[in-house]
Structure 1
Amino acid sequence: MTDTYNPILSKEDIKRWALLQKRPTPEPGIALVFSGEGQPLIALIQGQMGITRGEMVWGKYNLLYKVDLTEHPLSFQFKLPCATDAFDFQAELKFICSVQEPEKIISRGITDVRLFLEPIMAEIMRNISRNYQVEESADAERDISLKVKRAIYDEGFQVYRFVLTLSLEQEIRDRIREKKRIEDTTEIETNKIKSQKKIEQEAQSLDMQRQLFEMERIKMQEQFEIERIKLKMEFYTPLLQAGNWQMLALQLAQNPQDVVFISQEINKQKQIDRENQMRMLKMLLDEDAIEGSQVSEVGKRVLQGLITMTEEYTRALGSGDSNNTESQKPILETEEPKNNTSDSVRPEFNWDED
């Protein structure tokens, strides 16, 4: 591959041509350029008609140039700066060059293609390469190639198989390779962190859903337990208040698991009755409704009422909590209480005593 060539093959004076001399015609790969004083250049290529013999004889065109139109492979090398002044691009340019406009070659007197094109190409390439970092060599190659090919065409040439390669020093390549490795490692670690974070978020979401589900389950269970207790209270409370111990004992024999509930209800009822007894006694004392000599008698009656109430509840509970064999036997006889619960705990006072 050559470094340069001279596109002007020859220069001839046509004034001395005889009138009968044959007019010059272009050969393949050669352009004829006629030049005359004060006349525009005329370029002829193969297949085109030239100037007349009369124009050549009478001196309008006195010079004939032959310009090489064939293709020539060229190779240039440049050292280009990058955005970072510490490093450079090593540029190698290869292309096929041929003359596109013979008139421009003659008017500019181009006899060395390299000497003419190299400064133009170097200026364009350097101005563009300063806009790119060493890591951006691929983008720089595309940008430079477009601008350089356009500049060559504007100067009267055309190019084929244009190849621009920007290479880097070993130190720069090692630096870029290490930077790429770090970026890849960082990306992998970042993806791991994102994945772990996503897993943790999903785990937190699932845990929150589990807690909400558990809270809902407990709430429903509590609601169910409230409804169950409510139903039991609606069933057993009338039996307790009416002192229907036979029916109560029968239900407990069939449902021994309700003994605890009944026991709690009895304890509640006993506590309420005790509070009523004590409230009544306090009211009588506050109102001086009884004499001092009657206090002892009234206290005895209140205490006897509390004992009687406790014994009745205890007998009812014992009847429902007997062994399995006895609890299955039908209750044939049950001693009816002489008075209602409310009557058994109400103290009797002789208001006629002094």
Structure 2
Amino acid sequence: MADFRRPPEWQQSADRHTQLTDPVLTVRQLTRFEYVTRKPVTQVDHALVFVTARGEYDTFLPPHRPARADMATRRYTAVYEVDMGIHPVRAELALPSDNDAFEFGVAVDLSWQVREPDVFVRSGHRHVPELLLGELQQAARPVTRTYPVHRSAEAEQAVLRAVEAQGVLGATAGLLVTWTVRVRRDDDNIAHEKRKQAIEHQSAEQVLIARRGMDIDLEADLRSRQQDLLLAGRSLEHQRQQHELAMQQQALQHQHALLAGRQDLELQALQAQKINFYAYHLQHGGVHAWALHLSEHPEDSRLVMQSMRDDQLRLIQQQKELVSELLGGKHAEAFELDGPKELALRTVTEILAQRLPGVADTVPTPVPP
């Protein structure tokens, strides 16, 4: 601020961070040689507006200041120190709707700056936010009156067009203003809409839960059915495999039975061949044939021995019967029995000597009586 001898008529205690409503910081009356004798000291971003006795205004924008010659020739009577900084303003307004029971809530963000200090000083305004908000309401109120409260978006667009059509805000006061407006419903209507929205959300959530629950149930049922099909398929496959295994086992058993029967038949045939062979050799070949066969087939020794034993027993029994019949002598003459008796005695002697039939007799033949 300027350094003068007399105190100012108007002075604000403000700095760069102060929220100003009036950009005029000081108003001071001047004598003719006061500014010449003592050079004023002001901040670099403040403008000085000097007033002459004729009512003329000379503006010195920062950082320019008047020279001593100008002060002497122009004869200034007063000086205004004007802040040239940018000042933001945020305000909440209530604008009427087509129904007096409801109002629009309007949020206004402003940013103003003194562009022409002399114009602002001439305008005489002392409260810049009220000036700007008044101009904005003047343009917006007739527009919002035509819209219901639930059409806030359309009302906002209409307000923007109306304010722009009215002209630049603060132009009559030499201000540079940037602004934005947001129109919304009033708090009660917003709360009502929020409750409605909460109900809609809750209903939609319940519907979605029900639908998703049905989808989950369907998926669970489908999965259960698929599991049942898989289990049934596995059971059928297992039964088929068991059936095939049983059929294979039966086929193997049948083959084994056929092989066993065939082996039995072959064994029987072989046994019959052996019997016929042994019988033939016993009848024709005697001991020598048996010895030849056993030399080739030693595994048949048991069968040979058993057969020879049976043959010997039968032969002995037959000879016994024959001897008994001959010795009885009821059917033949005495001279007819001489030879058979001799043979019978020899046979008895052989039996007593325990020799097999067909073995060479080394014992002397006894003299018949």
Same fold (TM over 0.5): no
Larger CA Rg, structure 1 vs 2: 2
TM-score interval, smaller chain? 0.3 to 0.5
Give the number of the structure with larger relative contact order, counting CA–CA contacts within 8 Å between residues 6 or more apart: 1
